[in-house]
Amino acid sequence: MHWRDVSITNGPRPVSVPGQQALYGSTATRQIEQWAASTLPHHTLMSRAGLSVARLAQALQPHARCIWVACGPGNNGGDGLVAATHLHRGMQARGSKFHVVVTHLPNDGARLPADALDALQAARAAGVVFSEEPPAHFDLAIDALLGIGRIRPPQGRLALCLKVLRDSSSPVLCVDLPSGLDADTGTLTGEAGAARAGERHTLSLITLKPGLFTGTGRDAAGHVWLDDLGIAPPQSTPVSAWLGMQPTQATARLHASHKGSFGDVLVLGGQGIGVSGAGMTGAAVLAGRAALHGGAGRVFVGLLEDDAPHSTPWDPACPELMFRRPSLLLESDTLRNACVVCGCGGGTAVAALLPRVLSTARTLVLDADALNAIAADASLQTLLSLRRDRGRSTVLTPHPLEAARLLGSDTRQVMADRLKAAQTLADRFGACCVLKGSGSVVAAPGEVPIINASGNAALATAGTGDVLAGMIGSALAPLKLVDEQMQDRVASAVYQHGWLADHWHDTGHAGELSASRLAARVRPLAG
């Protein structure tokens, strides 16, 4: 997904909104909805929602002959019924070949909410066709089964309709949320919506929800649209997360600048094949290259467990990188003054360096094996936690498994609530935490988390995380940071990393995305 895909339907054209967009979870959205409903005539919100859905449906498939509207037992289903009534009227006017079919699934035993009941009666009165089963063929489906209500595992006809929607090769427009998606966490209930065949759109109502942008949310939601239904959330409603869509253009450098103006990055990692037999030198080199292209004035690379003590390592593709023995770097002022990126391909050798690095580095990015070593050693965790009180800044860049190790949990629990996992790590260690993956979460102690809007699965290839660590290193190197700036700065680097993948083919014959090609495309961030 790209920021252009987040469009506002409450106007004649899509609106691009660089910067940050507020996301509200289900509790905050309900508060806003209840406050708005109390100030408006009965049925206003559902009328606006249904009309907006119908308009977007028409815009997406103007020549559709059959539109299937799957309506659930709550107000999400009510929105679908209002949309079906509008679409039915529009299609009736075009002739007998055009029709809308509604499958309505009332809640066993429970009564429909009043708004949804009104919408059902209006649809029946308008002559909308109802069917127990989905039609054999449809040109567009509207998924109005479940919204932000409490969800139970789907069974029976509900499960069947969800499966038809999931497997549909025709476009699907989801009302408010893909049914079964948790608005707060981006997890899907049961099998609902797991595999996606055709084009998907989601029209989010009143607010954008965090779950649309992280975990499985992005695959389930497809292109995300917003209609605020004319409601501006009250200032008092707490934002649940920000959607990070930072601009990526670099500003021109001052003429009177020199390499010292842009800071040093020191990469410690890249364990040689040596004793362990597992060489990961490339990881440190990738981080170093990314830091260099990201604008660092000087980049030093300290390779761990050097194989051939008398050889001089260098990177022919990037001879600007300065290789140093880690023992020299650990004793030098560079450790104190540079932004240290530690752990990319660090293997087992990195653990021995960490006490000194954690105690001394001014600004520190901890990645991969450095995180694994800290997860396994309580004394390193203590040193990490002490850094903030000592005025030092730290960024953690775990993928979900590394996050699980640090939290003493498992990947499933991390993925069940990515925002919470990232925030817990940030608060526990007094560090900025980037929980990587689809919709990376950038959390900082006491701050509202940012969900990154850029990136795609082309990044799921070895070494792109090392590139990200180097990019964050160069983004932080020139700055004497206060903590609030740090989260935004890190989020900008994360955004650029994903943006490069989203725009990979914009400039022609680049070949497929690989970590080394990605590193070569990195550019300095603004500011």
Ligand X SMILES: NC(=O)C1=CN([C@@H]2O[C@H](COP(=O)(O)OP(=O)(O)OC[C@H]3O[C@@H](n4cnc5c(N)ncnc54)[C@H](O)[C@@H]3O)[C@@H](O)[C@H]2O)[C@@H](O)CC1
Nearest residue to 171 (alpha-carbon basis) of 71, 9, 14, 63 = 63
- Is the CB of residue 472 less than 8 Å from the CB of residue 342? no
Closer residue to ligand ADP, CB minimum distance, 459 or 486: 459
Packing angle between helix 368-375 and helix 400-407, nearest 10 degrees?
20
And the tokens for 337?
Answer: 């003054």
Count the neighbouring beta carbons within 10 Å of the beta carbon of residue 351: 18
Size of the chain, expressed as the number of residues it contains: 527
283 labeled binding residue? yes
Q: Is 148 in the site for ligand X (CB under 6 A)?
A: yes
Write each residue from 154 to 193 as x if it is in contact with ligand X (CB under 6 A), else as -, in one continuous string.
Answer: x---x----------------xx-----------------
391 labeled binding residue? no
Write each residue from 81 to 110 as x if it is in contact with ligand X (CB under 6 A), else as -, in one continuous string.
Answer: --------------------------x--x
Alpha helices in 72-132, H assignment, sequence order: 75-92, 114-126
437 labeled binding residue? yes
466 labeled binding residue? yes
Q: Is 46 in the site for ligand X (CB under 6 A)?
A: yes
Phi, psi of 410, rounded to the nearest 5 degrees: -130, 170
Q: Is 221 in the site for ligand X (CB under 6 A)?
A: no
* Minimum distance of ligand ADP from residue 463's CB (angstroms): 5
Residue matched to tokens 């659930």: 72
* Minimum distance of ligand ADP from residue 4's CB (angstroms): 17
- Is the CB of residue 473 less than 8 Å from the CB of residue 287? yes
The distance in angstroms from the start CA to the end CA of the chain is: 26
Phi, psi of 287, rounded to the nearest 5 degrees: -65, -40
440 labeled binding residue? yes
* Torsion sign across C-alpha atoms 423, 429, 435, 439: positive
Write each residue from 277 to 296 as x if it is in contact with ligand X (CB under 6 A), else as -, in one continuous string.
Answer: --------------------
What angle is formed at CA 417 by the lines to CA 411 and CA 422, rounded to 5 degrees?
Answer: 80
Can you tell me the distance from the alpha carbon of 490 to that of 473, in angstroms, rounded to the nearest whole number?
9
Which residues, numbered 111-140, are part of the site for ligand X (CB under 6 A)?
113, 115
Options 75-83, 94-102, 410-418, 469-477: segment touching ligand X (CB under 6 A): 75-83
CB under 5 to 8 A by kind: which of K ion, ligand X, ligand ADP, none does 437 bind? ligand ADP
Q: Name the strand (E) or helix (H) holding 441.
A: strand 441-443
Q: Which residues bind K ion (CB under 5 A)?
A: 143, 174-175, 179
* One of 1, 3, 24, 79 touching ligand X (CB under 6 A): 79
Options 117-125, 142-150, 246-254, 255-263: segment touching ligand X (CB under 6 A): 142-150
439 labeled binding residue? yes
* One of 8, 37, 51, 239 touching ligand X (CB under 6 A): 37
And the tokens for 490?
Answer: 């890190």
Q: Is 412 in the site for ligand X (CB under 6 A)?
A: no
CB under 5 to 8 A by kind: which of ligand X, ligand ADP, K ion, none does 143 bind? K ion
DSSP one-letter string for 354-390: HHHHHHH-SEEEEEHHHHHHHHT-HHHHHHHHHTTTT
Residue matched to tokens 């400039």: 507
What angle is formed at CA 472 by the lines to CA 468 and CA 474, rounded to 5 degrees?
Answer: 115
CB under 5 to 8 A by kind: which of K ion, ligand ADP, ligand X, none does 306 bind? none
DSSP, collapsed to helix, strand or coil, labels residue 50 as helix
Q: Is 33 in the site for ligand X (CB under 6 A)?
A: yes
Q: Which residues bind ligand ADP (CB under 6 A)?
A: 368, 399, 436-438, 440, 455-457, 459-460, 462-466, 468, 497-498
Count the neighbouring beta carbons within 10 Å of the beta carbon of residue 480: 9
- Is the CB of residue 474 less than 8 Å from the CB of residue 286? no
* One of 205, 350, 453, 513 touching ligand X (CB under 6 A): 205
Residue nearest to K ion (CB): 179
Q: Which residues of 382-408 are buried (b: 16+ CB within 10 A; e: fewer)?
A: ebbeebeeeebbbbbbbbbebbbbbbe
465 labeled binding residue? yes
Closer residue to ligand ADP, CB minimum distance, 50 or 463: 463
Residue ranges of the annotated binding site for (6S)-NADPHX are: 283, 345, 399, 466
Residue ranges of the annotated binding site are: 283, 345, 399, 436-440, 465-466
Contacting residues toward ligand X, per CB under 6 A:
33, 37, 45-46, 49, 72-77, 79, 107, 110, 113, 115, 146-149, 151-154, 158, 175-176, 205-206
Residue ranges of the annotated binding site for AMP are: 436-440, 465
